[in-house]
Amino acid sequence: MNPVLVYGYGTSLSVRDNCLILREGRFEPFAFNMASRWKVREPKMFRFRPRHIPFDSIVNVGDSGYVSFAAIHWCSLHDLPIYFLDYDGSLVSSILPPQPIRTDVRRTQLEAYLNDERRVEIAREFVDVKLDRSAQILNWLREKYDIEKEFRSFGKERLGLGRAKTVNEIRTVEGQCANHYWTSFAKDVPRKLEFKSRRIRNSRPNNASDPVNLLLNYGYAFLQSCVRRAINSTGLDAGVGFLHEDKAATTPLVYDFQEPFRWLIDYTVLGMVESKAFKWGRGGDFYFSEDFDLRFKPPMLDRYLNLLRQTFNSGVMYRGDRVKWDTLIGLKVQEFARYLVGKAEGFDLKSPAPILERSDTRDLRKRILSLSASEARRRGIGKSSLHYLRNHARGRKSFKIYKPVLEKLCNR
């Protein structure tokens, strides 16, 4: 995952002298360009020579500007999709490279959809792996927060997935588990960030009013872009899904394949919350528009995209090789297509599983708070270091930046 992000009013994409010219628009109000005090975030401008573009997609945030026919043709020849996001993080539209014609894949996909037994089997697989990843996130949270009640309730509701006989029953189990998951998620978020739930009571479902929901919205939009590209390159029909409804102007299969990988976004956002990677409130990294829509200030959106890049590009071992998570999404979509046409007996979304580690567990915090000054000296921990650790043990910050001291503490 390596998109180029452009933002603002009047963004343009054109071709001049055989080169792709990408110009970012202006920001309004201008004061929201500030990356830090007395430092202004200037609009971006790119010029890409043919066959010399270092990005794999273009993401535009905003509803003002233009894309020329020549630019669409240039991007198509370079296998470069263009995605358009609204300010609330929803994916409005996309311009994708030509899709390969795979009548065998589409025919078998439709046959599987029309076969009730097979559709339930596929839908169950998508939800099963989503709940498996959600359980990993909850276990990761349990090491630091008291969510035992929610974790047990999540596990109890999850047992219903094996008994579900219809797609609607599968969705019901997913929804019940999601309630406990987001309750646990909220316990990691300080009250001042005003995150209470993913259920937003508003005529516009993506219209977030707190920074955590806005981060999640944008993250899921980037994930959706990655999944769309994988499905488009495989020849599958994005309009024929197995878990989600096939409503007009929607892409149910994209939503299906998002489920096993939503944890990537949740994990990134939780890390940002714990490390205090953004500021909320007056003079912070977000602002409300004249229509009271919450939006990112441009520098904050740039930082968030960099963190998403790090998450999606992090390596995982799969079949003896180290692959990136965004590459793995493409591989799993290909495996699913092979399963549909009968070239594979099944499709496995659970493998490989991520490894989520902590260096700030509840047990470690208790040990730090009970550590005497004399014992700390014996372990080679100075007075100032001990003071630092105690302050962090009482608060919510991560200990990762103080790893050498932690190693001395953990080596008994």
Give residue 185's domain range: 103-340
The whole-number pLDDT of residue 59 equals 92
Q: Do 149 and 35 belong together in one domain?
A: no
pLDDT band at 355 (very low <50, low <70, confident <90, very high): confident
Q: Do 113 and 71 belong together in one domain?
A: no
The whole-number pLDDT of residue 48 equals 95
Q: pLDDT per residue over 196-211, tens digit each?
A: 888 755 545 556 789 9
348 in a structural domain: no
Q: Do 107 and 87 belong together in one domain?
A: no
Q: Do 72 and 158 belong together in one domain?
A: no
Question: How are the residues of the chain apportioned to helix, strand and coil, as percentages rounded to the nearest 5?
Answer: 50, 15, 35
> Nearest Cα to 84, choosing from 96, 97, 75, 73?
96
Q: pLDDT per residue over 144-195, tens digit each?
A: 888 999 999 999 999 999 999 999 999 999 999 999 999 999 998 999 998 9
Q: Do 284 and 169 belong together in one domain?
A: yes
List of residues 6+ apart from 248 with CB closer than 8 A: none
Q: Do 29 and 166 belong together in one domain?
A: no
Q: What is the pTM of this model?
A: 0.83
Of 95, 125, 149, the residue at which a domain comes to its end is 95
pLDDT, mean over the chain: 85
- Distance (Å, rounded) from C-alpha 330 to C-alpha 229? 8
Residue 43 vs residues 130, 133, 299, 300, 341: alpha-carbon distances, Å = 38, 38, 11, 14, 47
Q: Do 149 and 296 belong together in one domain?
A: yes
Task: Phi first, then psi: give them for residue 85, nearest 5 degrees.
Answer: -105, 145
Amino acid found at 236: L
Of 95, 128, 158, the residue at which a domain comes to its end is 95
Domains of the chain: total? 3
Residue 155 vs residues 175, 351, 375: alpha-carbon distances, Å = 13, 20, 41
Average confidence (pLDDT) over 75-95: 88
Q: Do 330 and 246 belong together in one domain?
A: yes
Q: Do 304 and 373 belong together in one domain?
A: no
Q: Do 115 and 235 belong together in one domain?
A: yes
Contact 105, 233 (CB under 8 A): no
260 in a structural domain: yes
For 321, the enclosing helix (H) or strand (E) is: strand 321-324
353 in a structural domain: no
- Distance (Å, rounded) from C-alpha 329 to C-alpha 335? 10
Of 285, 307, 340, the residue at which a domain comes to its end is 340
For residue 134, give both structure tokens.
């959600």
Q: pLDDT per residue over 274-330, tens digit each?
A: 888 898 888 788 888 877 888 888 888 889 999 999 898 887 888 888 899 989 999
- DSSP H helices in 236-297: 252-258, 262-274
pLDDT band at 412 (very low <50, low <70, confident <90, very high): very low
- DSSP H helices in 59-166: 69-77, 103-114, 116-142, 148-158
Q: Do 47 and 159 belong together in one domain?
A: no
The CATH code of the domain that includes 58 is: 3.100.10.20
The CATH code of the domain that includes 196 is: 1.20.120.920
171 alpha carbon, distance to own chain's centre: 21
The dihedral through the CA atoms of 290, 291, 294, 296 has a sign that is negative
Average confidence (pLDDT) over 395-409: 51
Contact 214, 208 (CB under 8 A): yes
